[in-house]
């Protein structure tokens, strides 16, 4: 089954009910939700710039063990050039990413790296001492322009299908100076390329030719303005 068909199947499924494991996507601060492209379509988010960092948080509305098999967050192998998942604070003693598990996941919770020919990401295991709340946090970064999918699996519900598939769309950055914020410094870089012609790949006139049509013009200015004062992390 191709990715479009899989996504359609996901979107036709009901949202995860209270009392089960769920995910939410936030900005790098871990608190501010990333807006959906359409409020009526779950798991498909508004465009983000290349270089933007997000957090994906796994939570439970009840305590107790997350079954025997746990779950995981993974990027399909076909998308790994466009987006990457990262864990926090690797612990060599427990061989897990200790900073990616919250206390609510239980003392014996673990976060393990996983990669095979199909996916790359993290296996997540709760513990019988888990309590209600946020259990795990995994970081995400947009690497290149295009779409990237992040699958959330709960193996206690299915070994055949993810519970949901988060869809991220990456657009060219407006943060030309890599300061993590689109501001007047970036506007100055854009202005220095104004009406420049002959923009070509890969530089595209210092990134200012946002629509990659070869010229920095009013259309690029409108595209730049869409992300004014936005932060990438």
Each residue's pLDDT tens digit, 107-137: 889 999 999 999 999 999 988 889 999 999 9
- Which CATH number goes with the domain that contains 31? 2.60.40
134/204 same-domain check? no
Q: Quote the distance between the C-alpha of residue 133 and its chain's center.
A: 21
Phi, psi values for residue 209, rounded to 5°: -85, 75
Is residue 100 in some structural domain?
yes
Helix (H, G, I), strand (E, B) or coil at 188: helix
> Counting Cβ atoms within 10 Å, is residue 2 exposed (0-12), middle (13-18) or buried (19+)?
exposed
Is the predicted pLDDT of residue 6 greater than 60, yes or no? no
Is residue 178 in some structural domain?
no
Task: Give the mean model confidence (pLDDT) for residues 213-224.
Answer: 96
44/127 same-domain check? yes
pLDDT at position 62 is 83
Whole-structure pTM over 0.85, yes or no? yes
Each residue's pLDDT tens digit, 129-184: 899 999 999 999 999 999 999 999 999 888 999 999 999 999 999 999 999 999 99
pLDDT at position 173 is 96
What is the crossing angle of helices 218-225 and 184-192, to 10°? 170
Q: For residues 160 and 163, give the distance between their C-alpha atoms in angstroms, rounded to a whole number.
A: 10
217/110 same-domain check? no
Name the one residue in this structure whose structure tokens are 């010229």: 215
- Return the higher-pLDDT residue of 194 and 69: 194
Is the predicted pLDDT of residue 13 greater than 50, yes or no? no
pLDDT at position 127 is 85
Task: Give the mean model confidence (pLDDT) for residues 66-80.
Answer: 91
Is residue 231 in some structural domain?
no
Supply 16's token pair.
Answer: 């995860």
Is residue 74 in some structural domain?
yes
Is the predicted pLDDT of residue 86 greater than 50, yes or no? yes
Each residue's pLDDT tens digit, 24-72: 999 999 999 999 999 999 999 999 999 999 999 999 988 777 877 899 9
105/216 same-domain check? no
Is the predicted pLDDT of residue 7 greater than 60, yes or no? no
156/219 same-domain check? no
Phi, psi values for residue 164, rounded to 5°: -155, 165
H/E stretch holding 6: helix 3-11
Domain end (from 171, 196, 216): 171
- Quick check: 99 and 136 in contact, CB under 8 A? no
145/206 same-domain check? no
124/194 same-domain check? no
- Domain count across the chain: 2
Is residue 233 in some structural domain?
no
101/191 same-domain check? no
pLDDT at position 112 is 96
H/E stretch holding 224: helix 218-225
Is residue 194 in some structural domain?
yes
The whole domain housing 65 covers 3-171
107/41 same-domain check? yes
Is residue 177 in some structural domain?
no
141/189 same-domain check? no
State percent of the chain over pLDDT 90.
Answer: 80
Is residue 217 in some structural domain?
yes
195/124 same-domain check? no
Closest CA to 104 of 60, 135, 65: 135
pLDDT range class, residue 2, cuts 50, 70, 90 = very low
Domain end (from 150, 171, 192): 171
167/188 same-domain check? no
């Amino acid at each position: 089954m191709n990715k479009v068909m899989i996504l359609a199947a996901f979107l036709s499924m009901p949202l995860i009910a209270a009392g089960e494991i769920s995910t939410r996507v936030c900005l790098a601060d871990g608190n501010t939700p990333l807006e959906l492209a359409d409020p009526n379509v779950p798991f498909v988010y508004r465009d983000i710039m290349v270089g933007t960092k997000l957090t994906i948080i796994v939570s439970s509305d009840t305590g107790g063990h997350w079954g025997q098999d746990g779950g995981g967050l993974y990027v399909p192998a076909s998308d790994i050039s466009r987006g990457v998942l990262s864990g926090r604070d690797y612990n060599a003693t427990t061989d897990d990413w200790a900073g990616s598990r919250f206390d609510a996941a239980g003392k014996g919770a673990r976060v393990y790296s996983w990669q095979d020919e199909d996916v790359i990401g993290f296996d997540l295991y709760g513990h019988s001492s888990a309590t209600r709340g946020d259990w795990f946090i995994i970081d995400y970064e947009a690497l290149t322009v295009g779409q990237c999918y992040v699958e959330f699996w709960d193996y206690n519900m299915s070994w055949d299908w993810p519970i949901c598939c988060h869809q991220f769309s990456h657009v060219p950055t407006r943060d030309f100076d890599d300061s993590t914020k689109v501001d007047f410094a970036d506007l100055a870089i854009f202005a220095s390329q104004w009406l420049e012609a002959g923009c070509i790949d890969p530089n595209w006139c210092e990134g200012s030719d946002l629509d990659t049509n070869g010229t920095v013009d009013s259309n690029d200015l409108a595209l730049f303005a869409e992300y004014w004062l936005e932060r990438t992390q």
